[in-house]
Amino acid sequence: MKTIKFEVRTSKHTQMLDITREVQRAVTESGVRDGICTVFIPHTTAAVTINENADPDVVRDFTMELGKIVPWEDGYHHMEGNSAAHLKSSMIGFSEQIIIEDGRLLLGTWQGIYFCEFDGPRSRKCFVKIMEGQDGVRLL
Ligand code: ZN
């Protein structure tokens, strides 16, 4: 199955954008009912994570605390001046896997998929790969 790509346009330097709807759309359009969905971020200063999408303060606290753990300026050597963004991206990670059941992402009630921007605003890409489960294959 081909890789689905979509664009994310961030508007702030540090931002978490809920991309659950876009990923679900990719699953729906694939027609896959049962399988695995991988979301991959092809950038070195952005990431993807799954967390609560009910209270926006969770996302605010998330970025606030990450900024304390990895301050923007801390005597880094990287000439581009965005070492903090590189570090945060690797800490959070560049991919997530979600189970697909009955054509839906099998997320918890309060879970959403977040694109994490650490050096915006920018135009970014998200890759989604969907693998269909195979009937008759059993793991022992
Ligand atoms: Zn850099």
**Ligand 1 center–CA 102 separation, angstroms:** 41
The residues whose Cβ lies within 5 A of ligand 1, an ion, are 80, 82
**Ligand 1 center–CA 65 separation, angstroms:** 21
Give the residue among 101, 16, 20 at the shortest CA–CA distance from 6: 20
pLDDT at 136: 55
Distance CA 83, CA 72 (A): 8
pTM score, whole prediction: 0.93
pLDDT in tens, 27-50: 999 999 999 999 999 999 999 999
